[in-house]
Amino acid sequence: MSSLGTIAFTPNAIPQAAAPNLMPLRVRDLGLSFEGEAVLSGVNLDLGPHGCTAIMGPNGAGKSLLLKLLHGLISPTTGEINWGGQTAAAAMARQALVFQKPVLLRRSVAANIDFVLRAKGRPRSLCNALLDHVGLAQKARQPARLLSGGEAQRLALARALATEPDVLFLDEATASLDPASILSIETIVRDACARGVRVICVTHDIGQARRLADDVVFLQGGRIAEHSAARDFFSAPQTTAARDYLNGRLVL
Ligand SMILES: Nc1ncnc2c1ncn2[C@@H]1O[C@H](COP(=O)(O)OP(=O)(O)OP(=O)(O)O)[C@@H](O)[C@H]1O
Ligand SMILES: [Mg+2]
């Protein structure tokens, strides 16, 4: 595997048509109900142009649904989402979402990237650089279904980056990976963030949130209980719910 520390992949070198910036994100009074039952309510959120935001909170708090709303995959029952003047649906094309379980094409590793590059009208020559970037260059011709969990997730991340997203969403993307795989994914995410990709990740991994996040949105019972700088959140959480969550106590 190539060293993830020496990265030659420089997508910003490719000339692009100027596009309006998707940030800042402005969310107002967002609510989501299923059959009259509210699963998210009164969500207000402002995110600035740079960095990595971690969304944390107990199981069932509404983290994945919030991510899907922000990405425009589902529509809210109430309220609005504004990405630099655009709706979530309009902004979706310049965003990418990586789930806990990567869904890969039943083709070669390289074909998974090639497919996205073609769909996005980007140079297919980028495929090698992307695979090298995530340490999969040696496995380019191998069927993607033979990859290990950590390798498959790196391919999913490379595929997300192949779209050259302005915003990268991660929903527990490292939840079932070993510590070394987690760190290699974090290296790729940190690098993307340093190149200006806005990262919003859901994670239960407190160590990961400490390593990656600039700020933390803490959800409980479908509401934002706390939104603070990561340093403050981990050193002095403001709510009992967040304190209990960080201490491993059940919060519902
Ligand atoms: N399609 C649906 N219909 C009805 N309820 C739903 C639907 N999708 C999700 N929910 C409910 O909404 C709540 C929030 O779900 P969500 O998947 O966002 O939780 P989460 O915070 O991501 O939890 P986890 O940490 O377990 O992934 C849960 O109680 C879930 O059962
Ligand atoms: Mg979830």
State pLDDT tens for residues 119-139: 999 999 999 999 999 999 999
What fold is seen in the domain 17-105+165-246?
A: Rossmann fold (3.40.50)
Distance 208 CA to ligand 2 centre (A): 16
Q: Is the CB of 220 under 6 A from ligand 1?
A: no
Which among 59, 64, 101 is the best mutation to test ligand 1's pocket, defined by most ligand atoms within 8 Å of the CB? Answer: 64
d(Cα 40, Cα 78) in Å, to the nearest integer? 10
**Ligand 1 atom closest to Cα of 219?**
21
Distance 62 CA to ligand 1 centre (A): 6
Distance 136 CA to ligand 1 centre (A): 33
Under the phi-then-psi rule, with left for phi > 0, alpha for psi from -120 to 50, and beta for the rest, what region is 57?
A: left
State the ligand closest to the CA atom of 38: 1
DSSP the chain: ---TTS----GGGS--------PSEEEEEEEEEETTEEEEEEEEEEE-SSSEEEEE-STTSSHHHHHHHHHTSS--SEEEEEETTB-HHHHGGGEEEE-SS----SSBHHHHHHHHHHHTT--TTHHHHHHHHTT-GGGTTSBGGGS-HHHHHHHHHHHHHHT--SEEEEESTTTT--HHHHHHHHHHHHHHHHTT-EEEEE---HHHHHHH-SEEEEEETTEEEEEEEHHHHHHS-SSHHHHHHHTT----
d(Cα 8, Cα 132) in Å, to the nearest integer? 8
State pLDDT tens for residues 79-116: 999 999 999 999 999 999 999 999 999 999 999 999 99
C-beta atoms surrounding 42 within 10 Å: 14
Q: Is the CB of 33 under 6 A from ligand 1?
A: no
For atom 18 of ligand 1, which residue has the closest CA? 62
For atom 25 of ligand 1, which residue has the closest CA? 59
d(Cα 159, Cα 110) in Å, to the nearest integer? 10
Tens-level pLDDT at each residue, the chain (252 residues): 444 443 445 554 444 445 668 999 999 999 999 999 999 999 999 999 999 999 999 999 999 999 999 999 999 999 999 999 999 999 999 999 999 999 999 999 999 999 999 999 999 999 999 999 999 999 999 999 999 999 999 999 999 999 999 999 999 999 989 999 999 999 999 999 999 999 999 999 999 999 999 999 999 999 999 999 999 999 999 999 999 999 998 666
> What's the distance, Cα to Cα, between the start and end of the chain in Å?
42
Which residues have CB under 8 Å from 239's CB, separation 6+?
218, 220, 225, 226
Q: How far is CA 194 from the centre of its chain?
A: 14
d(Cα 41, Cα 77) in Å, to the nearest integer? 9
d(Cα 19, Cα 15) in Å, to the nearest integer? 12
d(Cα 128, Cα 131) in Å, to the nearest integer? 5
